[in-house]
Structure 1
């Protein structure tokens, strides 16, 4: 019987679930400008910070020497912070409803 390798399983799960939006915390976790919050998402350290302009941003902390933090897609909805580690464009908003126009006879 094959026993799955734990590290391989974790990599496969991370690649399957990292795409898309993930809840981090409430915006009250970073109430003032200059405040920050460090979280780990799928083994990657992420810093959530509130800037002087009161906007909340997310950055991936690179482990390379002298690596600058890499911006991560971040969205605020209903007082909650969401991040998306995938670089592809995933929308958090619901699609707009379209009204059908009647065909002319």
Structure 2
């Protein structure tokens, strides 16, 4: 017989399980102009989604620490919908390595 976890453990496990996927935030039409922003709370984390001056949509996690800088969050737009991914494991975005086209000499 298994014992159900306490409420705190259950909430932590559920947040960990659901945090790792892509989550719908809103439609792109919610922030139509440069400088517009939208603030949402996702799994207890305040997230700001903003349309930057270069007309790109980016998302940031707002830290609760004093003088904490917002952390970038993975953000994607698909079918005019904004999605974010809060998973910290794949948080850093890396530039793809360029493959040199020069042939190797033998």
Query: TM-score when scaled to structure 2?
Result: 0.77
Q: Which residue of 1 aligns with 2:70?
A: 69
Cα separation, 1, equivalents of 2:88 and 2:76: 14
Q: Which residue of 1 aligns with 2:21?
A: 20
Q: CA deviation at 1:9?
A: 1.8
Query: Per-residue CA shift, 1:27-48, capped at 9, x if unaligned?
Result: 0111111111010111100000
Q: Which residue of 1 aligns with 2:46?
A: 45
Q: CA deviation at 1:56?
A: 0.4
How large is the Cα RMSD of the aligned pairs? 1.9
Alignment of 1:1-105 (within 5 A): 4-89=5-90
Task: Indicate the SS of the match to 2:68.
Answer: coil
Q: CA deviation at 1:78?
A: 0.4
Task: Indicate the SS of the match to 1:8.
Answer: helix
Query: TM-score when scaled to structure 1?
Result: 0.77
Q: Which moved more, 1:6-15 or 1:58-67?
A: 6-15
Cα separation, 1, equivalents of 2:33 and 2:72: 20
Task: Indicate the SS of the match to 1:14.
Answer: helix
Q: CA deviation at 1:8?
A: 2.4
Q: CA deviation at 1:4?
A: 4.4
Task: Indicate the SS of the match to 1:48.
Answer: strand
